Amino acid sequence: MIAAPHTSNWDFYFVRLAFWVLRIPMKIAIKDDWTKFPFGIVVKPLGGVGIDRGKDKGGKPKLGQVQAMADAFKGRDRIAMVIAAEGTRKRREKWKLGFYYVAQEAQVPITCGYLDYKNKIAGVASVVIYPTGDLVRDLKPVMNFYKDIQGRHPDQFSVDVRYV
């Protein structure tokens, strides 16, 4: 599940609370530093999975990261892996595509979770994508959905301009 917009550290706690209320088991991909001492004492039990965001030489996500996250789906009937596709809380007009490759590898759909601070709601959109390998076709409806959602800091969010 894409978690967007991601403009505040508070997003993690609001997303976790929403899934607890819905009784959906989840893991949240989070910057590796947050899963180490002292923050890890709180973040890991709440479902935080540390991700080393370094790049491989080709500029693509490390296959190990993608595979490790895809493997989290094995043997589970029901789990949500929540990924902030922007990869940062700052404005980014090109999202990181690890979420796409994880879904493709795990053969699971991509859904769109959101925290709309303007309207004070959180939810999951009806947009469901089964990755086909055609990024433009697959991600255009995702960007169309998120274009009207407002993060805690609206100036720090952009949809991926490559797929608008």
Domain that holds residue 112: 2-163
Indicate whether 54 pLDDT > 70.
no
pLDDT bucket at 161, cuts 50 / 70 / 90? very high
Burial of 50 (0-12, 13-18, 19+ CB in 10 A): middle
Mean pLDDT of the chain: 87
% pLDDT > 70, the chain: 93
pLDDT bucket at 125, cuts 50 / 70 / 90? very high
Indicate whether 63 pLDDT > 60.
no
- Output the pLDDT for position 53: 60
CB 110 within 8 A of CB 133: no
Interstrand relation of 26-31 and 110-116 (parallel, antiparallel or unpaired): unpaired
Name the domain count of the chain: 1
- Output the pLDDT for position 82: 86
User: Could you write out the three-class secondary structure of 54-98?
Assistant: CECCCCCECHHHHHHHHHCCCCCCCCEEEECCCCCCCCCCCCCCH
Q: Could you tell me which residue, 106 or 71, shows the higher pLDDT?
A: 106
* Side-chain-facing half-sphere of 22: CA atoms under 13 Å: 16
Angstrom distance (rounded) from CA 76 to CA 69:
13
Backbone torsion region of residue 120, taken as left when φ is above 0, otherwise alpha when ψ lies between -120 and 50, otherwise beta: left
pLDDT bucket at 27, cuts 50 / 70 / 90? confident
CB 149 within 8 A of CB 86: no
- Sheet with 26-31: strands ordered across: 48-51, 26-31, 80-83, 2-4, 110-116, 121-129
- Output the pLDDT for position 88: 84
